[in-house]
Chain A
């Protein structure tokens, strides 16, 4: 029996079965009804792959790997059960980085351990080092920015792009030395190997440091894709089909998300990574473009809401910052009890990662069929009595449709301005992330509800209850 379990054919067939489980799992992740089961199926594929590897006769000692496994389980399980839903973006970024460094280490271990490596293996090792390294340091920067250890703004210096290109060519040269193993007197390929890791890490820093907070959804999706590609490359290092398939699936999914995020901002990936939106922003806007700002207080806002038949909530990153999601759900329920129809319109790039707002509202027990996309709500916007914009700004900026000079012109938005009344919950009149004015605030039907979003919503809840 043990002989069968240890045979190569059994291992390879099991890996194929594990790949099938990943594919089924990902397919089921595509619908809210089946998603949790899909995740379970995918995780059982992972368990199968790990168990088959553990009984395989390539492994002869278990002491070290047991240490790694036990520590990893402890750390991973603790982090996953303690994290707050608002901190999800940084945790995903961190896990992503860990996947990248793991692939880098596998490539390194294989490079240092195996005596004679062919051209293909060396090329694959080069790819694990460069992609894994970029994923690791890039994800750590994303983690730092999202958890506010690092400043969230764009960190740039003059000549950044030139330095990045030079470093990239240095990395390619080092890679060529690693792969073709040509003789340079006194310079062993191992030095190139070590330097290559260093440059990969620095390149990851240079790519992510200039990314501002609102562009984070794009870069997280991109790094997610990279971590998959790194795993695929590691699959070529050890000639293992399950790594290649699983890595490719993740690579493809990350790329699709990246593309969706870019489309939602009407920008190209190159523009997100290399362009800076704020540099063009200030010139063509002047204060009189925005009309008169009309503040409203909580009791007047309550009277309007009390009479409303349909309310649309448009959340943005500000809702996450003030942790207002539970208060928002409570207000939604009170409105529904009052006979009002309540929905939530969520822009793809609202928040700091793809789907960020959906998770927060789901955490607060909002039914997922109330969470709608811009394309669902825009056609019926004229029938909405009140649109409540909570901590969102650029995703409801009418300039994206009306002002060709605006830097965000062409970006698909939630057309809140077309509803009968718009409440905008904002701390102050500061501009949004893009640093541009928002004419929505001055529209005839707009009312500003200044203050902390959570306090304002709680105030409305209290009015409904009294």
Chain B
């Protein structure tokens, strides 16, 4: 457990640094699609939601998990679609 925890912290720290490097060079023209695209990625919590909703953890876990699945799905599906719609409008003549 403790080893796993340290490993996950390590992953977290590296990912934060990677995130800073990745985003730093994004031009301001793309700030809105970047935000909504990143927002869709934060819907990754859907993985946890699916496990809570579908595992046999009791009524409360199932209900809360299902609500979480709903909200995370809206976040994911809506976020990616709307980002795609926006990016489709960025054209060069």
Contact = CB atoms under 8 A, between A and B. Distances in A.
B77 A73 contact: yes
B69 A69 contact: yes
Contacts of A80: 77-79, 81-82, 85
Nearest to B17: A252
Interface stretch (A21-29, A313-321, A404-412, A456-464): A21-29
A308 to B, nearest CB: 20
B87 A250 contact: no
B85 A68 contact: no
Most buried by A among B32, B77, B91: B32
A428 interface: no
A298 B36 CA distance: 39
B47 A224 contact: no
Contacts of A236: 5, 8
A42 B57 contact: no
Contacts of B63: 64
Interface in B22-61: 22-58, 60-61
B49 A32 contact: no
Nearest to A52: B47
A112 interface: yes
A244 B12 CA distance: 6
Given A53-B47, A64-B65, A102-B72, A227 B55 contact: no
B74 A76 contact: yes
Given A353-B32, A359-B33, A249 B18 contact: yes
A109 interface: yes
A32 B92 CA distance: 9
A220 B34 CA distance: 13
A227 B39 contact: yes
A113 B72 contact: no
A42 B37 CA distance: 8
Contacts of B65: 64-65, 68, 105-106, 109
A291 to B, nearest CB: 32
B15 A244 contact: yes
Given A50-B50, A346-B28, A368-B92, A228 B38 contact: yes
A54 interface: yes
Contacts of B60: 109, 112-113
Interface stretch (A2-10, A55-63, A269-277, A280-288): A55-63
Contact of B36 (A92, A102, A371): A92
B71 A239 contact: no
A65 B47 contact: no
Contacts of B74: 72, 75-76, 79, 95, 98
Contacts of A109: 49, 52-53, 57, 60-62, 64-65, 68
Contacts of B72: 72, 98-99, 102
B75 A99 contact: yes
Contacts of B34: 29-30, 253, 257, 354-355
B58 to A, nearest CB: 5
A68 B28 CA distance: 35
A75 B78 contact: yes
Given A105-B49, A241-B8, A22 B73 contact: no
A202 interface: no
A418 interface: no
Given A32-B90, A373-B28, A99 B4 contact: no
A59 B54 contact: yes
29 contacts: A22-B44, A29-B26, A30-B30, A36-B90, A38-B37, A39-B80, A42-B37, A46-B43, A49-B44, A58-B55, A64-B69, A68-B65, A68-B68, A77-B78, A95-B74, A103-B45, A103-B48, A106-B68, A235-B48, A242-B44, A243-B48, A249-B22, A253-B19, A253-B23, A253-B34, A346-B28, A354-B35, A355-B35, A362-B90
Given A109-B52, A248-B19, 8 more contacts: A30-B30, A42-B80, A96-B39, A103-B68, A256-B23, A257-B23, A355-B34, A368-B29
Interface of B: 1, 4-5, 8, 11-12, 15-20, 22-58, 60-93
